[in-house]
Structure 1
Amino acid sequence: MTSSESSPLTVGTSDDNATGRPVRPGSAPLTGVPVSPGRASGPVVWVADPLGEPPTGPAPEDPAAEAARIRPAADRVAARLRARAERAEGEARAILQTTAAMAEDRSLLGQAERWVTARSWPAARAVHEAAAGFAASLEAAGGYLAERVRDLHDVRDRLVAELLGVAEPGVPALRTPSVLAARDLAPADTAGLDPAKVLALVTAEGGPTSHTAILARALGIPAVVACRGLLDLDRDTVPGLAVDGDTGTVRVLDTPQVLAHRADGKGRAPWRGTLRDGHRVRLLGNVGSAADAEAAVAAGAEGVGLFRTEFCYLAATREPTVAEQRAAYAAVLAPFRGRSVVVRTLDAGADKPLPFLGLDAEPNPALGVRGLRVAFDRPELLDRQLAAIAAAASDTGAEVSVMAPMVATAAEAVWFAERARAAGIPRVGVMIEVPAVALVAAEVMDAVDFVSLGTNDLAQYLFAADRQLGAVAGLNDPWQPALLRLIAAVAEAGAARGVPVGVCGEAAADPLLARALVGLGVTSLSMNATALGGVSAALAEVDRAECRRFARAALAAGTPDQARAAARR
C-alpha cells in the first residue's frame, strides 16, 4: 500500500497540515535519500552526538587495577545488549547479538588493557584508543568490514560511558510519538526502536543499504538518510519535522503536530501478489535465520527469494560440518514446507572474512575474492554446502533452489550450475550483481533456470559508489535511471527465454518502485517481511498496463527524483 493511500495513524487533533509549514515562509525543504516509505510529522527529538574523547589523565594510581575494570564493564554492556536482543526478533535480534559479541571482543579488550598498563591511561581513554586502531583497520579493508565501523564506534561509546559512570549514548526515552533526528544511528539503537513511539527517522549520514535504513524498513518507520542541512538546524528552536520517506524531503514545522501515514506489513493473507487484472507476481521474503523465516510466513510470503546462508557461518571459527550446516539450514526451511525457497550459497570472502577460510588481505576487498570466487580454489567447500542444502531440503519438504553470488561471467554460471545439479539440486540460478554479467544475461540464462537481481551491490558496482558512504548515497538510489535500464535489459532477456527474473535487493520493498519493476518485466520481488503488506496492496491497485507506464516514465527520467515524480504522476 502506498503511503498516501494507507490508513493514517493520527495522534493529536489536527491533520489539515500533513506536510507542515516551514518556519520561514518560502524556505525550501531539506533533501536526502528516501530509504523507508511513508510520511510522518511531529515533534522532533534529537539523538545526542557520541561522547567526545575521554581525557588521557590523571594517570591511575594502580594501572593493574584500572585495567581490570575493563572486562567487567564490557560484560555489563554486553549483558544489556543481549537482554534487548531477547526482546527483539529477526534482523534486529541478530544485530543486537552481534553488537554484544563485539563488546566482548578479546582482541579489543586486550589492547585496551595493554594501553592502561603501558601508557598509564585511564581505562576509558585506553578503550577509546584501542577502538580507534581497530576502526582504522576495518576502514582500510573496505567492503563488509568497513560497514562494521559504525558498530564498533557504538560499542566504544557504550564501554566508555560505562567506565566513566555516565548514561549510555543513544536514543532517549520518548514520552510521546516523535520524529528522531541524528547525525547517524547505531544499529543497536535502531534495532531497539518502538514503532509506536518513533514516527519517522532522519539522519545526516548513512546510505540506502545501511543498517539504519534496512531496520527502518523492517519496522515500517518512514526514514530519510544523508539529509543535507539537517545538522545546520537550531536544535533549540525547531519544534518539529515532517519527513517524507517516499520523496526524501524533510520540512521544518512551526507546530509539533503529529500525523503519520505508514505502510502496514502485518496481518496480510498469503498469495496476494496479484495485480488488478489478475497478473501474478511472486512476493517472497528475505531471511537469514529461523526467526526471519517465521516472520516471513506470518507476513504472508509465498516463499523465500533470498536465504543468506552466511549468517550460519559468521560466528564460526572452523568450517561447520555438513551435519551442522544441514541442521542450521533445516531450521530456516522448515516453515516453508511445500513452498519455494531460494538458498544463496556462501557470500563471504576478503570483505567478509571467515576465520576458517584463511584468505589473504586485499587492497580493495569489494573487488576481490568474494562470493562464488571463494569456491574456485576450494570447490570442496561449495560441494559440502550444496550437499547440506540438498539434505535439509529433503528433511523439510521445502522446494529448494540454489543461486550463486558474485557471478561475473557466463562461464562461471555454467560451472556453478553443473556442480549444483550434480549435488541433486535441480533448480539453479545466479545473482545479477556485477554489471558485466547483466550485459551477458542471455548467455547466462542458457545455463540456469532463473536469475535474481541484487540491486544493492549492482548499484554499488554500476556507479562505483560505496553503498555505506553517505557522500555518495544518492548514486545508490534504486530509482537511478541507469540502474532501472540495466534491470530492464535483464528482464527483457528473461522474457525472451522464459527465464524468471527476480529482484531481491532493497528496491523490492518500495511499493511505488515495485510497480515500476513489474512494468519492466520482473516476475518476483523478495523483501523483508514487514514490507510485504505494503507492496502487495500497491500491486493490487494497478494492472500490468499501468505498471508498464510507470516503468516507461521512470526510464525516461534524468534523475532519481524525476523518476519518482514521473512514476507518481
Structure 2
Amino acid sequence: MEFTGTGIGQGVAVGRTLRMPDPLPEPDDTASTRTADDEAARAAASMSAVARELEKRGELAGGTARDVLEAQAMMAEDPSLIDLVTQATASGKTAERAVFEAFGSFRDQLAAMGGYLGERAADLDDVSQRVIADLQGVSAPGVPQPDEPFVLIARDLAPADTALLDLDKVQALVTSDGGPTSHTAILAREKSIVAVVGALDVLSIADGTEVVVDAASGSIVTEPSSEAIAAAERRIAERRAAASAPITPGALADGTSVPLLANLGSSDGAQDAADLGAEGVGLFRTEFLFLDAGDTAPSIDEQTAHYVKLLQAFPGKKVTVRVLDAGADKPLPFLNDAAEENPALGLRGLRALRANEQILRDQLSALAAADAQTEADLWVMAPMVSTVEETEYFVSLAHEVGLKTAGIMVEVPSIALLAERAFAHADFASIGTNDLTQYTLAADRLLGSVAHFQDPWHPAVLRLIGEVGAAGAAAGRPVGICGEAAADPLLAVVLVGLGATTLSMSPSALADVRHSLAQFDLDAARNLATLALAAEDAASARAAADEAAAPLQKE
C-alpha cells in the first residue's frame, strides 16, 4: 500500500515503523478541592518549569531549533495565557483543566488565522501537554526510545522532540499533519532527516510494518517488494557517496559555474553551511530577529550586531539578505497586526515596510553599518515586489543609505512578466519559487487540500522563471533561485537551463544538487528545460525531464 504527502529533501529510508504515543487524555472538568490561589500557583510553577526545560533543550540543539524552542518557552509564560489560566482557576477549575482550556482557546485562534500562525497551533498543543504532564507528575508524551532503529510515525512532532531526535535510531519521520513550513518540516530539513509530512491516513500503519519512505517522491510504501528495497538501498549508498565526495564549487559538466548558496534563518547556522560547501548565502531571512523583539522593532545597533555575526562567517563571499518579510500572516505589533481576510494577498513584505518606512530605513542602515565592518559581499533584496515602481523605490532607498547591490525577489507573476523593465533598476533578482508557485496556481501553500497544485515543476511556473532568466541575461543581471525548488537535484538542472545563475537551498541539500549539476552540460540543461516547458502539467514535466536525463546520469 502507498501513502503520499509532502517530502522534505531528497532522502530515502528503509525500516520498520513505530508510532508516537497518544497525547495525554483531556483533564476532567471537575471542581478543584484546592483553593483558587493554590491552583493558580501550581499552574504558574509548571508553566515556568516547562519554559526552563524548553530553553535548556534549545541550548543543546542550537541553530534554528534553538530559536524555535525559545519561542515555545515564551508561549509557556505568555502573560495573556497566564491571565486566562488564573481566571479559570478563580472559577473553581483545577490547574490541569485551566491550562487545557486556556491553551486550547489560543490554539483555536491561531488555527483560524491560517498561514504562518496557523502552523504554530501545533506548538501550543505541545506546550500545553508538557505543562499538564508536569502538573500530573508524569512524563510528557515524547519520542519512543527502542533499542533498534525505526521509522517514526506521528500525528505531528513537537519542536522540542524534533530538535533532539537520536539520528542513530530514527531512520525517517512521517507525520499525518503539518505542511512544508511546519516546524517539523523546518527542523527535519535542517537536520537532514528523511521526512514526509502531511501524509493522510498514515496513522493506520501498524507498528513493526516494513516501509520505504521516499522524500523525493513524498511516498511511504508498506510491505515493499525486494526490488523496491534494493533500489532504495542503492539510492542511500549513492547519496552517502555524494555527501562524502570532495566539496567543489557548483558547476555543470562543461565547467559552467553555478554557485551553490545557503538559505539561512539565523546567523548561528552560518558556519555549518560553510562547512557543507555553501559558497555564500542566497537567502538570509531576518524575521526571527523581529519576531523575538516584542512590541518594538529591534534597534539599529541590535540589528547591526546580528548582521556582523553573519557576514563574518563568509569573508569575500556573497551574502544576500532579505529585508523583513512580515505582514498579516506574521503580524508584528510595530508593523501590521490588523486582521485580513486573505493575508497572502494583503499588506505583507515590501508593502508593509513601505507603510512603515522608518523600520525599513533602520534595517537598511543597520545592514550598511555591518557591511562597513566586514569583508563579505553584501546584497540586499525586498520581498513581495509586484511592480516596477516598487522595484525602483526599494533599490533607490538601499543605494541612498550606502548599500552597493540591491535587488528584488520575484514571487508575484506580475513582476516576472515585467522583469525586463524591472532590471532597468534592480541589480539582481532572486526567484522565490514557493510563493511564485502559490500565486501562479492560486493555491495556498499551507493548505493541504490544494497541496497537489504546489509544485514548481508546473510549466506555467517554469515559463515565468524562464521569462526572468531571459530578461536577466539580456540585461547582464544575475538571477538566483532561493525557493525549495533549488533543492530538487533534477529541477536544479532545469532551472539553470531556464537562466538561473545561482541556486540557494537548505545546506543539507547542497551535496545532492552539486552531484546532479556535474552530470549535465549547459546544452543538456537547456534541453531538459525545453522538454519541461512543453509539458501540460507538473507530473508530465517531471517525467519528461526524468526520461531525457536518465541516459546522461552516471551510476
TM over 0.5: yes
Alpha-carbon shift at residue 272 of structure 1 (Å): 1.8
Deviates more, 1:339-348 or 1:486-495: 486-495
Determine which structure has greater relative contact order: mean sequence separation of CA pairs < 8 Å that are 6+ residues apart, divided by chain length.
1
Alignment of 1:409-558 (within 5 A): 409-558=387-536
CA 1:244–1:564 in 2, change beyond 3 Å: closer, same or farther? Answer: farther
CA 1:201–1:557 in 2, change beyond 3 Å: closer, same or farther? Answer: farther
Please give the alpha-carbon distance, in whole angstroms, between the structure 2 residues aligned to 1:54 and 1:189.
23
Please give the alpha-carbon distance, in whole angstroms, between the structure 2 residues aligned to 1:149 and 1:170.
18
The answer to whether the Cα contact below 8 Å between 1:226 and 1:473 also exists between their aligned partners in 2 is no
Instruction: Name 2:276's counterpart in structure 1.
Output: 299
Give the one of 261, 272, 289 matched to 2:236. Answer: 261
Please give the alpha-carbon distance, in whole angstroms, between the structure 2 residues aligned to 1:177 and 1:515.
35
- Give the secondary-structure state (helix, strand or coil) at the position aligned to 1:205: coil
Give the one of 242, 247, 252 matched to 1:275. Answer: 252
1:287 equivalent to 2:283? Answer: no
Cα deviation, 1:191-215, whole Å, max 9, x if unaligned, reads 2223322212222222233332232
Give the one of 52, 56, 60 matched to 1:83. Answer: 56
Give the one of 315, 318, 341 matched to 1:340. Answer: 318
Instruction: Name 2:342's counterpart in structure 1.
Output: 364
Amino acid at match of 2:249: R
CA 1:320–1:229 in 2, change beyond 3 Å: closer, same or farther? Answer: closer
Give the one of 364, 373, 376 matched to 2:351. Answer: 373
Structure 1 unaligned runs (5+)?
1-27
How many residues align? The count is 539
The answer to whether the Cα contact below 8 Å between 1:82 and 1:97 also exists between their aligned partners in 2 is yes
Alpha-carbon shift at residue 450 of structure 1 (Å): 0.7
Cα deviation, 1:133-179, whole Å, max 9, x if unaligned, reads 21232233333222211211221222222222222123212422211
Structure 2 unaligned runs (5+)?
548-555
1:242 equivalent to 2:212? Answer: yes
Please give the alpha-carbon distance, in whole angstroms, between the structure 2 residues aligned to 1:205 and 1:471.
12
Give the one of 374, 387, 396 matched to 2:365. Answer: 387
Give the one of 74, 78, 87 matched to 1:114. Answer: 87
Runs of 4+ in 1 over 4 A off after TM superposition: 254-260, 264-271
Instruction: Name 2:159's counterpart in structure 1.
Output: 187
Please give the alpha-carbon distance, in whole angstroms, between the structure 2 residues aligned to 1:387 and 1:535.
35
Instruction: Name 1:56's counterpart in structure 2.
Output: 29
The answer to whether the Cα contact below 8 Å between 1:139 and 1:149 also exists between their aligned partners in 2 is yes
Alpha-carbon shift at residue 474 of structure 1 (Å): 1.9
Please give the alpha-carbon distance, in whole angstroms, between the structure 2 residues aligned to 1:476 and 1:211.
19
CA 1:123–1:35 in 2, change beyond 3 Å: closer, same or farther? Answer: same
Alignment of 1:208-223 (within 5 A): 208-223=180-195
Please give the alpha-carbon distance, in whole angstroms, between the structure 2 residues aligned to 1:310 and 1:343.
11
CA 1:123–1:477 in 2, change beyond 3 Å: closer, same or farther? Answer: farther
Amino acid at match of 2:8: V
Please give the alpha-carbon distance, in whole angstroms, between the structure 2 residues aligned to 1:475 and 1:268.
35
CA 1:393–1:456 in 2, change beyond 3 Å: closer, same or farther? Answer: same
Please give the alpha-carbon distance, in whole angstroms, between the structure 1 residues aligned to 2:341 and 2:60.
40
Amino acid at match of 1:239: T
Alpha-carbon shift at residue 359 of structure 1 (Å): 4.1
Amino acid at match of 1:80: E
1:142 equivalent to 2:117? Answer: no
Alpha-carbon shift at residue 343 of structure 1 (Å): 1.2
Please give the alpha-carbon distance, in whole angstroms, between the structure 1 residues aligned to 2:536 and 2:5.
17
- Give the secondary-structure state (helix, strand or coil) at the position aligned to 2:134: helix
Amino acid at match of 1:65: D
Deviates more, 1:399-408 or 1:170-179: 170-179
- Give the secondary-structure state (helix, strand or coil) at the position aligned to 2:496: helix
Alpha-carbon shift at residue 273 of structure 1 (Å): 0.4
Please give the alpha-carbon distance, in whole angstroms, between the structure 1 residues aligned to 2:57 and 2:38.
30
Alpha-carbon shift at residue 95 of structure 1 (Å): 1.5
Amino acid at match of 2:409: M
The answer to whether the Cα contact below 8 Å between 1:33 and 1:477 also exists between their aligned partners in 2 is no
The answer to whether the Cα contact below 8 Å between 2:211 and 2:221 also exists between their aligned partners in 1 is yes
Please give the alpha-carbon distance, in whole angstroms, between the structure 1 residues aligned to 2:185 and 2:457.
16
CA 1:194–1:518 in 2, change beyond 3 Å: closer, same or farther? Answer: farther
Please give the alpha-carbon distance, in whole angstroms, between the structure 1 residues aligned to 2:509 and 2:477.
25
1:128 equivalent to 2:105? Answer: no
Instruction: Name 1:5's counterpart in structure 2.
Output: none
Instruction: Name 1:9's counterpart in structure 2.
Output: none
Instruction: Name 2:550's counterpart in structure 1.
Output: none
Please give the alpha-carbon distance, in whole angstroms, between the structure 2 residues aligned to 1:65 and 1:383.
50
Alpha-carbon shift at residue 358 of structure 1 (Å): 5.8
Please give the alpha-carbon distance, in whole angstroms, between the structure 2 residues aligned to 1:525 and 1:434.
19
Deviates more, 1:406-415 or 1:147-156: 147-156
Alpha-carbon shift at residue 393 of structure 1 (Å): 0.6
Amino acid at match of 2:520: V
Instruction: Name 2:70's counterpart in structure 1.
Output: 97
Please give the alpha-carbon distance, in whole angstroms, between the structure 1 residues aligned to 2:224 and 2:459.
36
Alpha-carbon shift at residue 545 of structure 1 (Å): 2.4
CA 1:45–1:399 in 2, change beyond 3 Å: closer, same or farther? Answer: same
Amino acid at match of 1:546: A
The answer to whether the Cα contact below 8 Å between 2:67 and 2:288 also exists between their aligned partners in 1 is no
Alpha-carbon shift at residue 47 of structure 1 (Å): 1.4
Alpha-carbon shift at residue 488 of structure 1 (Å): 2.2
- Give the secondary-structure state (helix, strand or coil) at the position aligned to 2:313: helix
Give the one of 305, 309, 313 matched to 2:290. Answer: 313
The answer to whether the Cα contact below 8 Å between 1:209 and 1:456 also exists between their aligned partners in 2 is no
Please give the alpha-carbon distance, in whole angstroms, between the structure 1 residues aligned to 2:64 and 2:83.
29
The answer to whether the Cα contact below 8 Å between 1:247 and 1:561 also exists between their aligned partners in 2 is no
Alpha-carbon shift at residue 459 of structure 1 (Å): 2.1
The answer to whether the Cα contact below 8 Å between 2:119 and 2:178 also exists between their aligned partners in 1 is no
- Give the secondary-structure state (helix, strand or coil) at the position aligned to 2:90: helix
The answer to whether the Cα contact below 8 Å between 1:142 and 1:364 also exists between their aligned partners in 2 is no
Alpha-carbon shift at residue 243 of structure 1 (Å): 0.9
Alpha-carbon shift at residue 301 of structure 1 (Å): 1.0
TM value normalised by structure 2: 0.91
Alpha-carbon shift at residue 266 of structure 1 (Å): 6.0
Please give the alpha-carbon distance, in whole angstroms, between the structure 2 residues aligned to 1:343 and 1:440.
23
Instruction: Name 1:176's counterpart in structure 2.
Output: 148
Instruction: Name 2:553's counterpart in structure 1.
Output: none
Please give the alpha-carbon distance, in whole angstroms, between the structure 2 residues aligned to 1:568 and 1:201.
26
CA 1:275–1:104 in 2, change beyond 3 Å: closer, same or farther? Answer: same
Amino acid at match of 1:290: S
Cα deviation, 1:288-328, whole Å, max 9, x if unaligned, reads 22211111111111111111122222111322222221111
- Give the secondary-structure state (helix, strand or coil) at the position aligned to 1:357: coil
The answer to whether the Cα contact below 8 Å between 2:331 and 2:338 also exists between their aligned partners in 1 is no
Alpha-carbon shift at residue 423 of structure 1 (Å): 0.9
Alpha-carbon RMSD: 2.3
Could you tell me the percent identity over the aligned residues?
49
Alpha-carbon shift at residue 181 of structure 1 (Å): 1.4
Please give the alpha-carbon distance, in whole angstroms, between the structure 2 residues aligned to 1:480 and 1:433.
15
The answer to whether the Cα contact below 8 Å between 2:264 and 2:270 also exists between their aligned partners in 1 is yes
Alpha-carbon shift at residue 216 of structure 1 (Å): 2.1
Cα deviation, 1:341-369, whole Å, max 9, x if unaligned, reads 11111112222222333643333322222
